[in-house]
Structure 1
Amino acid sequence: MAERLIQSIERAADILELFLDFDQELSVKDISVKLGLSKSTVHGLIKTLEYRGYLQQNKDDLKYRLGLKLFELGNRVSHQFDLGKIARPVIKELVDELKETVHLVVFERGEVIYIEKLDGPRALRIYSQVGKRAPIHCTGVGKAILAFQEEEEMERLLSNSDLESYTEYTMTNKEELKKHLLLIREQGYSIDDEEIELGLKCVAAPIFDHHGQVIAAISCAAPKVRMDNLRLSEVSKQIQLAAASISQTMGYKTKPAHV
């Protein structure tokens, strides 16, 4: 593993991590001495980090401090962990009621990432696990997030996806998928009907933040044999209520209906 690490990125990370243990501001000389690197090497790394917003220079003494980009990233990570904390009791309640596996995912770089998973009493051996990434075009959670993107962003995401086929039921035609996403938007929930794994059915609903942007999704997964139309109707209502509850706690205000 170690031989595959990129030295320049390792050194850049070392520079950033110095600020965890030392003063709030460090000079090029300070960093050079502490890391045992030449000033020229440190200068090049620092200028790159400064350009990308990870470091800022104090123009008075020419020392460096952590930049706002790290604050933004930290807030994003904190936001995700807050989401998990908020959603956890809702997920547990869902599992207790539905007796099936429930997932929570966040959206990142055109994929979803599972950040919470709680198995029901009849646990499934399925693809999902905490930390794993999954495609957005053929998972219930992915489609729930994709359907509520702005139209321009939806187009961009679909254009950048190869719409890979996982089963014979995976939608790989862009226009067909777009029509399907419009239906999801209308009904407020999505269904993965054996689209990523044969025999598996999943119902998902989107979660919104205080800006009204879709940031995550929650789902219930079960074998198709346990998800007939009556059961599907019950699960979809529970999933939507759970998603709405989490969204409300995240500060989302539902838009008033037009009279």
Structure 2
Amino acid sequence: MTERLIQSIERAADILELFLAYDQELSVKDISSKLGLSKSTVHGIIKTLEYRGYLQQNKDDLKYKLGLKLFELGNRVSHQFDLGKIARPIIKKLVDELQETVHLVVFERGEVIYIEKLDGPRALRIYSQVGKRAPIHCTGVGKAILAFQEGEEINRLLSNTNLEPYTEYTMTNKEELINHLHFIREQGYSIDDEEIELGLKCVAAPIFDHHQHVIGAISCAAPKVRMDDVKLAEFIPRIQQAAESISQSMGYKTNPTLL
């Protein structure tokens, strides 16, 4: 990461995230000990978080717990995952038709996060699972999302991404990848041909919201031996149709401007 981080905000985030690991009230001493910070530093940050509603103090034992402001923010965040609710029946229908595993992902902080995965009758033992993050440069879903970013944003994301070679087929050259993304954008779908896992092939298409922003992607994955050219020709339009159907349900109306 090239951006400069603000230490006080990092420490505030560390304090809040302690409550994820320790499902209980915590004292200033507890937090100070667990984070290796001075009590005076912790006290100052906690009082600010309490003032803004992110923490609440138990007046009996003076310990702290998460505040209602986080509940409000959590409710707002949950609206993002309406995408999962909207997409679920479409994914189910796609799995029934294709008889292979289908994924739904969202894009966050330069990575994709799997929010839905429905296995076909011949389930795959692959890297994906709900809640797991995956790279954008060598997954079908990641490339489908990346290809529909603005040109400057693509450059920024790739400059901050470690183009790690997961297999011998992973593209690790930035210019080559950018050219590949232009091709993906023109054709409207992406293919991962053993780029993140040997023997695995998938086809993916982007999902857009009512602002015409790409917000996620859907993919179908199968062993390469089962996804030959005939199957691929069958799967591509089905995946694109499913992605378009989800996008329309999210309020998407027109095609995005090409690069």
Instruction: Place the TM-score, normalised by the shorter chain, in its bin.
Output: 0.7 to 0.9
- Structural mapping, 1:69-148, within 5 Å: 71=72, 74-80=75-81, 82-148=82-148
What's the offset of the Cα at 1:9?
5.5
Matched, 1:171 2:174: no
- 2:207–2:215 CA contact under 8 A, matched in 1: yes
Distance 1:213 1:73 in 2: 22
Equivalent residue number for residue 202 of structure 2: 202
Unaligned runs of 5+ in 1: 1-5, 16-33, 56-64
TM-score normalised to the size of structure 2?
A: 0.76
Distance 1:14 1:232 in 2: 46
Q: Helix, strand or coil for the counterpart of 1:231?
A: helix
Distance 2:256 2:132 in 1: 36
Equivalent residue number for residue 30 of structure 1: none
Equivalent residue number for residue 29 of structure 1: none
Most deviating of 71-80 and 144-153 = 71-80
**CA distance 1:123–1:42, shift in 2 (3 Å):** same
Equivalent residue number for residue 237 of structure 1: 237
Distance 2:127 2:255 in 1: 36
Equivalent residue letter for 2:45: G
What's the offset of the Cα at 1:123?
1.1
Deviations 1:89-147 (A, max 9, x none): 00000000000000001111111111111110111111111111110000000000000
- 1:12–1:45 CA contact under 8 A, matched in 2: no
What's the offset of the Cα at 1:43?
4.7
Unaligned runs of 5+ in 2: 1-9, 20-24, 30-38, 56-66
Distance 1:201 1:156 in 2: 27
- 1:141–1:204 CA contact under 8 A, matched in 2: yes
Deviations 1:36-62 (A, max 9, x none): 6599755532336778x969xxxxxxx
Distance 2:113 2:256 in 1: 31
The percentage of aligned residue pairs carrying the same residue is 69
What's the offset of the Cα at 1:228?
1.5
What's the offset of the Cα at 1:253?
1.1
Equivalent residue letter for 1:78: H
Runs of 4+ in 1 over 6 A off after TM superposition: none
What's the offset of the Cα at 1:223?
0.9
TM-score normalised to the size of structure 1?
A: 0.76
Q: Helix, strand or coil for the counterpart of 2:122?
A: coil
